[in-house]
Amino acid sequence: MILAVDMGNSNIVVGGLDDQATYFEERITTDDRKTSLEYAIMLKNILEIHKIKRSDIEGSIISSVVPPLNAPLSSAVKKITGKRPFLVGSGMKTGLNIKMDNPKAVGGDRIVAAVAAIARYEGPIIIIDMGTATTMDVVDKAGSYIGGVILPGVKVALNSLVSNTAQLPRINLDVPKRTIGKNTIECMRNGIMYGNAAMLDGLIDRMEAELGEPATLVATGGMSRFITPLCTHKIIYDADLLLRGLLILYRQNMPE
């Protein structure tokens, strides 16, 4: 199996997988104060919990949107596996035609998601990733990455609302029972949950209009499984999309 690491702004997803299955998936907090050794200890604990031996891991790959942590995390992975990991970025073989003003500026996580989506689904594809930020990426029928949008994430929007108002409390994002709220907490929850769902629906409509045809809709990321069921469009939830994309990129970049 390979060790796949997807480092986001809030969480780092660590998974062990091969072509047959995903054997484990865990999340740890992204913290730029942690040292390479601290991250190595956390990775070691994850592997021990799942009874994974060092000899079970043939290699590793990292996707990151937090450049200052690339070196410490890469060093931590090498300490645990004995091999330097691949790092998704400029110069890596992706097989993806990126039609952007500056292809090198496209985030590694967005590339990984697009690579995985193309391998699994029929184009055109709209990929929704709901984490600290919400991103929507578009792959056309020919398999080219043609762009997308970046939006404040669900919890970022909620935290901003609470932090910048005097009387609104912090709330849990449970599934709303109705659209029209009957108290402050319900009104906040409904606004955040249904508001994000309506935003996705509206952007999907506009993107499909630009594409000139319906798209396969795929969602991943921590908040997607709560928001996308509230959408009017049929959206496939694919929890391990990024890990599968990392496996594909690892295979593509292995020496002959």
Write out the catalytic residue numbers: 109
What angle (nearest 5°) sits at the alpha carbon of residue 77, between those of residues 60 and 68? Answer: 105
**Bind-site residues for ATP:** 6-13, 132
14, 47, 184, 247 from 39: Cα distances, Å: 11, 12, 41, 21
The burial of 7, by beta-carbon neighbours within 10 Å (0-12 exposed, 13-18 middle, 19 or more buried), is given as: buried
Answer whether 124's CB lies under 8 Å from 141's CB.
yes
**Bind-site residues for substrate:** 107-110, 184
Helix axes 241-252, 108-120, angle to 10 degrees: 90
Q: Give the rounded distance of the alpha carbon of 124 from its chain centre.
A: 19
